[in-house]
């Protein structure tokens, strides 16, 4: 009885699936999938490598400091970094006074209340504060950005496929759409004439739907002046800020990797000892 | 005590004797996982995975309890509380990554454990009850893992909850009210998050309870073995301790090396980037995909594309969506009937030439294909492949296995376990 019912159920499910298969194939032949502009012109991330790559990689402190400078002078105009506190900047190699100075000099002040009247007010940031957001709320952010919402950057390298390489590619990925060809030599506007970038958006083949609301933030070389004398090319700034945002998303990465090596070392010894005791105990037993 | 030659627990000191007379807990442990449990001497490394699954559960419970001390089940605060754990709690990043990847490794070892049972016929008499309890544990694990994935309240958490609870709305008439009852609202929100957290904390202990029954049921007939031949006498067995405690110790070391390598060096490899975006009910991700261990079932769900009805009348009896949901649950529930579908008296796949072919060239590839296609967007090629693989999956268990067990001529079995290890070697696996 069980086998009879099973046979019928199996026949039903498998039959419906094969019917569905036929249906899928017929539909695909009758109405072939229309190629999308995203599928044809979206680009994989640009090749870029960082000091923190790989199981032995560590953050390059100088690069993180440069990245912070790019963030604070360029990105921070629109993008918040809500999960990071000023005190966390100690990890970038700043001492206590430098962190205090960074907090105090931050362009946006921290929302507060007037201690006398209770009226809303602002005060300069202190190391214990999170980085203040450039806009008071989502409505204000959208109003200032053509109805687009600049995402918080605290986790951006973990929240996008490709991580820091994605951020790097996106920052350098602005192209003139007129006459743009992909690597296969296909011209976008000839293949997809209706896919012209709408007014107010900007063409960037590294963005998921190719049209991003953000204008190219790194417009020219030397947009920021690095304190360590590094030449601030667009590629250098993009790389530095990508490294900084990787740190912002994963501040404990170095602890994690060093703890990982210690754990692996311990386990290696443990496993060898366990293997030896296994062999010793089983020595007289054929198995 | 399952075998007359099993070693008896002999309390040594006065305290041990005193305890043994009042609450013989050490005796219970001795007989369960100590020298008092005789185990076949020929178990291969696939028999390590039951113990490893137990260890994985302990890792999940310990890390989970610590996470719950810092986690805050609120739609406004959950996401940030996880980031607080990652950034500000001492070693919180470790506890969180261990829990996150621990879930994946729990499923990896349990899947290997299940496939070991499928290949070596561990579900057959007299071990049906062990198998039924095992499938129950698997179902509980899936429920627990799903609810755990919702807790960080990221984009995939929210939309995964939306999709999975949406299954219930496929049920005719009562579907939508039932879904609202389960969620405590029209969409996943605070009420759903609270109850998911509560159940996510409860279910692991239910799993632990069912594991105790699973092991209890195991100790009635004793462990199976790669030949599938029953234990004939003392020469066929060794005491669990020290023989298998030593072997499991070695297996545990290897398991932990893999676990640690992923947890410390590629902790987000098995996750989805979208879950680092806070949940937003107004923005649907481009592709909603579950965690990797649910992908084969997700592929089965999506593989049903045609309604079942009376041709040319337009009358639909079972819509495709409902059939997908039924098939997805059915694909796991059918495992409950496996002991009565595969009627071959030979347990081990080693001695079943036909079964072995269907296992390696049918079942395993179909599951690999389903896992792969489950994570892909619904393009024609992936839909076709998953329809083919899903059709094979159901046919394998419900049609092929019952027929194979009738028509197959098994290879000659060794006379005993001891003969198989000392004399003739096992035939190599296909």
Average pLDDT over residues A241-251: 98
d(CA B319, CA B329): 16
Task: Tell me the CA end-to-end span of chain B in Å, nearest whole number.
Answer: 37
d(CA A129, CA A100): 11
pTM (2 d.p.) = 0.95
Residues of chain B with pLDDT below 70 are: 1-2, 424-430
Do A58 and A254 contact (CB within 8 A), yes or no?
yes
Q: Residues of A numbered 123-162 whose beta carbons fall under 8 angstroms of chain B's beta carbons: which are they?
A: 151, 154-155, 158-161
Say which residue the tokens 């692991």 belong to. Answer: B204
Based on the residue annotation, tell me whether B219 is a catalytic residue of this protein: yes
d(CA B261, CA B267): 9
Q: Do B330 and A9 touch (CB under 8 A)?
A: yes
Interface test with B, best of A6, A128, A162 (most B CBs within 10 A): A6
Determine if the peptide bond prior to B125 is cis (ω within 30°).
Answer: no
Determine if the peptide bond prior to B417 is cis (ω within 30°).
Answer: no
Q: Residues of A numbered 88-107 whose beta carbons fall under 8 angstroms of chain B's beta carbons: which are they?
A: 88
Do A133 and A155 contact (CB within 8 A), yes or no?
no
- Residue B39's closest chain A neighbor by CA? A287
Do B207 and B144 contact (CB within 8 A), yes or no?
yes
**ipTM given for this complex:** 0.94
The string of DSSP letters for B271-321 reads S-GGGGSB--TT---SS----GGGHHHHHHHHH--S-EEETTTTEEEE-HH
Based on the residue annotation, tell me whether B302 is a catalytic residue of this protein: no
Q: Do B380 and A281 touch (CB under 8 A)?
A: no
Q: Which residues of A touch B383 (CB under 8 A)?
A: 24
* CB contact A266 to B (< 8 Å): no
d(CA B371, CA B298): 8
d(CA B257, CA A258): 15
Q: Do A25 and B384 touch (CB under 8 A)?
A: yes
Query: Which residue among A19, A208, A278 sits closest to B250, beta carbon to beta carbon?
Result: A278
Query: Which residue among A2, A161, A278 sits closest to B340, beta carbon to beta carbon?
Result: A2
The reported pLDDT for the residue numbered A34 is: 86
Count the helix, strand and coil residues of chain B and give each as a percent rounded to the nearest 5: 65, 5, 30
Say which residue the tokens 């012109």 belong to. Answer: A41
Say which residue the tokens 């070697």 belong to. Answer: B425
pLDDT above 80: residue A56: yes
Nearest chain A Cα distance for residue B275, angstroms: 7
* CB contact A285 to B (< 8 Å): yes
Query: Which residue among B80, B257, B402 sits closest to A264, beta carbon to beta carbon?
Result: B257
Q: Do B402 and A6 touch (CB under 8 A)?
A: yes
Give the phi and the psi of residue A81 in degrees, each rounded to 5.
Answer: -140, 60
Nearest chain B Cα distance for residue A58, angstroms: 12
pLDDT digits (tens, 9 = 90+) for A161-218: 999 999 999 999 999 999 899 888 889 999 999 999 999 999 999 999 999 999 999 9
d(CA B15, CA B427): 51
Q: Do A282 and B327 touch (CB under 8 A)?
A: no
Residue A149's region, left for phi above 0, alpha for psi from -120 to 50, else beta, is beta
Q: Which residues of A touch B268 (CB under 8 A)?
A: 158
Q: Do B249 and A278 touch (CB under 8 A)?
A: yes
d(CA B5, CA B125): 23
Interface test with A, best of B262, B336, B398 (most A CBs within 10 A): B398
Nearest chain A Cα distance for residue B427, angstroms: 15
d(CA B360, CA B339): 19
Q: Do B388 and A21 touch (CB under 8 A)?
A: yes
Percent of all residues in chain A with a pLDDT value above 90, rounded to a whole number: 91
Give B154's DSSP letter.
Answer: B
Nearest chain B Cα distance for residue A273, angstroms: 8
Q: Which residues of A touch B267 (CB under 8 A)?
A: 256
CA nearest neighbour of B148 among B89, B87, B207? B207
Based on the residue annotation, tell me whether B247 is a catalytic residue of this protein: yes
Q: Do B41 and A252 touch (CB under 8 A)?
A: no
> Number of Cβ pairs closer than 8 Å across A and B?
167
Based on the residue annotation, tell me whether B283 is a catalytic residue of this protein: no
Residue B107, C-beta contacts closer than 8 angstroms, at least 6 positions apart: B141, B145, B293
* CB contact A10 to B (< 8 Å): yes
What domains does chain A contain, in order, with CATH numbers?
37-81+150-255 (1.10.760.10)
The active-site residue out of B291, B302, B331, B420 is B291
- CATH superfamily ID and name for B42-332: Cytochrome Bc1 Complex; Chain C (1.20.810.10)
The active-site residue out of B200, B247, B302, B396 is B247
The reported pLDDT for the residue numbered B424 is: 54
Average pLDDT over residues A84-94: 97
Give the phi and the psi of residue B317 in degrees, each rounded to 5.
Answer: -90, -50
């Amino acid at each position: 009885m069980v086998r009879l019912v099973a046979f019928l159920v199996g026949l039903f499910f498998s039959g419906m699936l094969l019917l569905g298969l036929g249906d899928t194939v017929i539909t695909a032949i009758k109405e072939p999938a229309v190629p999308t502009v995203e599928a044809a012109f979206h680009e994989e991330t640009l090749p870029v490598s960082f000091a923190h790559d790989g199981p032995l990689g560590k953050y390059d402190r100088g690069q993180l400091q440069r990245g912070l400078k790019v963030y604070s002078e360029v990105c921070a105009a629109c993008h918040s970094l809500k999960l990071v506190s000023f005190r966390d900047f100690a990890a970038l190699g700043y001492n206590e006074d430098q962190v205090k100075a960074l907090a105090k000099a931050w362009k946006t002040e921290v929302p507060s209340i007037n201690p006398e009247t209770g009226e809303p007010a602002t005060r300069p940031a202190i190391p214990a504060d999170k980085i203040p957001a450039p806009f008071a709320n989502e409505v204000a952010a959208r109003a200032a950005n053509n109805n687009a919402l600049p995402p918080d950057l605290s986790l951006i390298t973990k929240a996008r496929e490709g991580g820091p390489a994605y951020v790097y590619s996106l920052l350098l990925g602005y192209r003139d759409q007129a006459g743009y060809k992909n690597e296969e030599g296909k011209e976008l506007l000839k293949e997809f004439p209706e896919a012209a970038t709408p007014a107010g958006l900007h063409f960037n083949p590294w963005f998921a739907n190719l049209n991003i609301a953000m204008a190219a933030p790194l417009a020219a070389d030397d947009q920021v002046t690095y304190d360590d004398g590094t030449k601030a090319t667009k590629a250098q700034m993009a790389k530095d800020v990508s490294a900084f945002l990787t740190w912002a998303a994963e501040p404990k990465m170095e602890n994690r990797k060093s703890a990982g090596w210690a754990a692996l070392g311990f386990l290696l010894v443990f496993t060898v000892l366990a293997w030896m005791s296994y062999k010793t105990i089983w020595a007289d037993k054929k198995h | 005590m399952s075998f007359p030659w099993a070693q008896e627990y002999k309390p040594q000191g006065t305290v041990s004797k005193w305890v043994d007379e009042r609450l013989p807990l050490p005796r219970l442990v001795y007989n369960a996982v100590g020298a008092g449990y005789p185990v076949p001497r020929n178990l291969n490394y696939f028999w390590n995975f039951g113990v490893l699954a137990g260890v994985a559960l302990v890792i999940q419970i310990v890390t989970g309890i610590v996470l719950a001390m810092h986690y805050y089940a609120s739609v406004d605060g959950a996401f940030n509380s996880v980031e607080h754990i990652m950034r500000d709690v001492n070693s919180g990043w470790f506890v969180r990554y261990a829990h996150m990847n621990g879930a994946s490794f729990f499923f990896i070892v349990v899947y290997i454990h299940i496939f070991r049972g499928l290949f070596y016929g561990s579900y057959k008499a007299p071990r049906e009850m062990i198998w039924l309890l095992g499938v129950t544990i698997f179902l509980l694990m899936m429920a627990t893992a799903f609810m755990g994935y919702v807790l960080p309240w990221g984009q995939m958490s929210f939309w995964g909850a939306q999709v999975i609870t949406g299954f219930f709305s496929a049920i005719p008439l009562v579907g939508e009210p039932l879904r609202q009852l389960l969620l405590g609202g029209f969409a996943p929100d605070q009420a759903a998050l609270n109850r998911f957290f509560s159940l996510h904390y409860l279910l692991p202990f239910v799993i632990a309870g069912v594991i105790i029954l699973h092991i209890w049921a195991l100790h009635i007939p004793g462990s199976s073995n790669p030949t599938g031949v029953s234990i004939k006498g003392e020469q066929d067995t060794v005491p669990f301790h020290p023989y298998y405690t030593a072997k499991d110790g070695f297996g545990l070391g290897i398991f932990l090396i893999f676990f640690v390598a992923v947890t410390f060096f590629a902790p987000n490899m098995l996750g989805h980037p979208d879950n680092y975006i806070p949940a937003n009910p107004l923005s649907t991700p481009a592709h909603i995909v579950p965690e990797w261990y649910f992908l084969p079932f997700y592929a089965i769900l999506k593989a049903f594309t045609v309604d079942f009805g009376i041709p040319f009348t337009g009358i639909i009896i079972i819509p495709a969506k409902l059939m997908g949901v039924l098939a997805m649950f059915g694909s796991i529930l059918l495992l409950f009937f496996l002991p009565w579908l595969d009627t071959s008296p030979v347990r081990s796949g080693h001695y079943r030439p036909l079964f072995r072919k269907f296992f390696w060239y049918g079942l395993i590839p179909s599951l690999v294909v389903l896992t792969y296609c489950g994570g892909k967007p619904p393009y024609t090629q992936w839909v076709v492949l998953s329809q083919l693989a899903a059709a094979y999956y159901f046919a394998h268990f419900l049609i092929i296995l019952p027929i194979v067990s009738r028509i197959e001529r098994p290879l000659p079995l060794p006379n005993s376990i001891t003969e198989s290890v000392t004399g003739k070697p096992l035939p190599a696996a296909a």
